[in-house]
């Protein structure tokens, strides 16, 4: 079942080997992409999870995030303890891949998974409302 899947060593090996293909083949991975099936199948938002020790957004992610927001897909950085929270939620609103420079806007501080689920539910509802009129 898809909901039971966790990250795999094979995926990590693939990413590492891809880095060796060429110094000019840039890439990044998004941690999570929220989807909806109705009113039509589409992407709600992209989420990148970072631990409390992760700092900054590398240039490759700035490029990817900018491409997503140009297409109307919101991007959120969620930072905290993956097991229990709390989680700090920030929205990426733009940047430039040189240096890199970027802007994050504080969205919410949620205590744990239950509140994160409530936040996500509201985000999904906002997305649906964009297409209901």
Beta strands in 1-133 (DSSP E): 32-36, 42-50, 74-80, 87-96, 101-110
This prediction has a pTM of 0.87
Q: Mean pLDDT over all residues of the chain?
A: 89
Placement of tokens 């990817």 in the chain: 64
pLDDT of residue 4 exceeding 60, the answer is: no
The region of weakest confidence among 28-37, 59-68, 109-118 is 28-37
Write out the two tokens for 68: 């997503």
Q: Which two tokens stand for residue 18?
A: 């891809």
Rg (CA), the chain: 16
29: tokens are: 């991975």
Choice between 55 and 90, residue whose per-residue pLDDT is larger: 90
Is CATH 3.40.1350 the classification given to domain 28-130? Answer: no
């Amino acid at each position: 079942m898809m909901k039971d899947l966790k990250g795999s060593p094979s995926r990590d090996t693939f990413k590492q080997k891809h880095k060796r293909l060429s110094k000019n083949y840039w890439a990044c991975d998004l941690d999570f992409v929220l989807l909806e099936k109705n009113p039509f199948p589409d992407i709600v938002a992209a989420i990148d999870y970072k631990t409390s020790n992760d700092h900054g957004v590398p240039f490759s992610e700035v490029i990817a995030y900018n491409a997503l927001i140009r297409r109307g897909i919101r991007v959120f950085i969620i930072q905290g303890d993956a097991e229990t929270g709390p989680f700090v939620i920030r929205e990426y609103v733009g940047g430039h891949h040189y240096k890199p420079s970027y802007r994050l806007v504080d969205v919410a501080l949620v205590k744990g998974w239950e509140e994160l689920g409530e936040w996500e539910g509201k985000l999904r509802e906002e997305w649906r409302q964009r297409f209901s009129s």
